[in-house]
A and B are shown apart, each in its own frame.
Chain A
């Protein structure tokens, strides 16, 4: 019984920290995907399309310069922020990047660490020394067993695999609740401006929620009804991502039964 109470306490602690973590994450995303003050124009472009013409512009992610033109190098939303031009993906598979927080499932334990499926092309590897505290080789499965779900951060993306770490705030094993997947490109919308969307869902449902950049989301609440409510709100956001007044609609949904 005592053990149980400790666990709950622990979970709450992590949740607290997680919150700040996600807001940081969200801000990062905001900067990437939503209209900030300095963003002038956004439009959907196809590969090869000329976005802007002029020597002053600087090609960034998803673009390249050909002569005076800046061309789209992928399909997505072209954004002009000052002189910087980039194309943000709006569809497609998760492309892992250093610094992404992801959720994954432990698939195997090796001598050196844990193999973690993070639903990307190459699997993740969590070296034993990247656990938040010292873990001896013979207690690895007590810390993380096959089938366990973890929130981890990508340290590096290599040809052969992705290196993960738990040495940061809000990372670690996720207990209770459930996981599900949304399109990774919808993650910024789920989080919302400065975490506004996800924080509203957390507030209204009382659930702990962890959102991975790979589109995997973990929800754990006091009771199933609240968990279902939170999940439905998130599913709604990802379905109606282009809807006007989405935040209000979601709020309405969460206020109702």
Chain B
């Protein structure tokens, strides 16, 4: 178990944020350097590695034929899972998943699903009987804060590169054969997770682990573009502190700008 932030540090960070300062010289709403690479696993149908500063997450996409859900017989399935492996941080424990490990894939699931970036209706193999299930699996390799935003970039990146395997005659997937068909993706949607963190009266973005630990609340938005409009697809406020209506308005103003800014940074990787 790593040592917790001291009150001295929390108070110092509070003062610093109030003056718009951070230890690494970033502006309060500035992200660290983002890097995306691909082909983490050649056994995955698509995979990506995302680094934001020292935070590192890998995401893999697997496709497998399965049965559709009774309420969506004409659509493929989406399943997002992930684990906060004790590999990535002294704070992650072995054993049953803690709340953070449950929350992370759920937030990514909502951001991806509701953005409709995956054209699930094109993933039907035989209507009512057989569809593709898209599995998104998320694993942090090193946690230095802001895992959710990093994971979502990884999911979007990996989806964009994912392929659909060929089918064997008996209906199973032929993973040996090189897949050529691309996963049906709606272009221009680019779902991203954008999180705001609050300490005292200050709101910051992309915290390091030290900063994140000091923060008293987090609010994560899943944002995408739909018919050229910005759309919030998901949202979750976490931890005890509150956000005022003025703060919410401020964040609403910032969201589209941040979305464009991040997508601009990510363009060269996508």
Q: Is B43 an interface residue (CB 8 A)?
A: no
- A180-B210, A232-B23 known; A227 and B6 CB under 8 Å? no
Pick out which of these stretches binds chain A: B11-19, B81-89, B98-106, B135-143. B11-19
Tell me if B8 and A178 are in contact (CB < 8 A): yes
Interface size class of A (residues with CB under 8 A): 20 to 34
Q: Is A149 an interface residue (CB 8 A)?
A: yes
Cα-based distance from A179 to B9 in the complex (angstroms): 6
Closest Cβ–Cβ distance, residue A175 to chain B (whole Å): 8
B16: A residues at CB distance < 8 A: 224, 228
Closest Cβ–Cβ distance, residue A227 to chain B (whole Å): 7
A119: B residues at CB distance < 8 A: 2-3
Closest Cβ–Cβ distance, residue B51 to chain A (whole Å): 16
Q: Is B21 an interface residue (CB 8 A)?
A: yes
Query: Which A residues from 191 to 249 make CB contacts under 8 A with B?
Result: 216, 218, 224-225, 227-228, 231-232, 235
Cα-based distance from A105 to B25 in the complex (angstroms): 27
Closest Cβ–Cβ distance, residue A146 to chain B (whole Å): 10
Tell me if B23 and A177 are in contact (CB < 8 A): no
A148: B residues at CB distance < 8 A: 7
Tell me if A174 and B8 are in contact (CB < 8 A): yes
A231: B residues at CB distance < 8 A: 23
The total number of A-B Cβ pairs within 8 Å is 50
Query: Which B residues from 179 to 223 make CB contacts under 8 A with A?
Result: 210
- A224-B21, A228-B21, A231-B23 known; A105 and B12 CB under 8 Å? no
Cα-based distance from A181 to B2 in the complex (angstroms): 10
Q: Is B4 an interface residue (CB 8 A)?
A: yes
Closest Cβ–Cβ distance, residue B117 to chain A (whole Å): 37
Cα-based distance from A141 to B116 in the complex (angstroms): 56
A227: B residues at CB distance < 8 A: 12
Find the A residue at minimum CB distance from B10. Answer: A178
Q: Is A117 an interface residue (CB 8 A)?
A: yes
Select one of A105, A224, A235 contacting B15, CB under 8 A.
Answer: A224
Tell me if B12 and A177 are in contact (CB < 8 A): yes
Q: A178-B6, A224-B16 are in contact. List 18 more A-B contacts (CB 8 A).
A: A105-B4, A117-B3, A119-B2, A119-B3, A149-B6, A149-B8, A176-B8, A177-B12, A178-B9, A179-B6, A179-B8, A180-B9, A181-B3, A216-B3, A224-B15, A228-B21, A232-B23, A235-B23
- Provide a sorted-by-A list of 11 A–B residue pairs whose CB atoms are within 8 angstroms: A119-B3, A148-B7, A149-B7, A178-B6, A178-B9, A178-B11, A178-B13, A180-B210, A224-B12, A224-B15, A235-B23
